[in-house]
């Protein structure tokens, strides 16, 4: 993992077209802004993990082989 120090209004670039800017620091919270093309999905990590879990369930990864045999 790369760890960078930034102050308010300083940014980092990811590739050529994604910019992450520190907008505000209050106590133990940091507010960041992300400037990226609309084609790049941006999620909070906890929401991203929920989406992945829902996708796995919808794809049937949670179904055992025995249950599938009973369906057929």
Do 50 and 27 lie in one domain? The reply is no
Flag whether the pTM goes above 0.75. Answer: no
| pLDDT > 90 fraction of the chain, expressed in percent and rounded | 72
Boundaries of domain holding 50: 41-72
Do 33 and 45 lie in one domain? The reply is no
**Average pLDDT value for residue range 48-61:** 84
Please count the other Cβ atoms lying within 10 Å of the Cβ belonging to residue 65.
7
Do 29 and 57 lie in one domain? The reply is no
Task: Give CA separation, 43 vs 18, 47, 60, 70, in Å.
Answer: 14, 6, 24, 38
Query: Is a pLDDT exceeding 60 seen at residue 32?
Result: yes
pLDDT band at 35 (very low <50, low <70, confident <90, very high): very high
């Amino acid at each position: 993992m790369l760890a960078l120090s930034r102050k308010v209004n300083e940014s980092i670039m990811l590739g050529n077209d994604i910019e992450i800017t520190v907008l505000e620091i209050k106590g133990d919270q940091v507010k960041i802004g992300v400037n990226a093309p609309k084609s790049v999905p941006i999620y909070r990590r906890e929401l991203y993990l929920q989406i992945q879990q829902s996708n796995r369930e919808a794809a049937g990864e949670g179904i055992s082989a025995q249950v599938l045999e009973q369906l057929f």
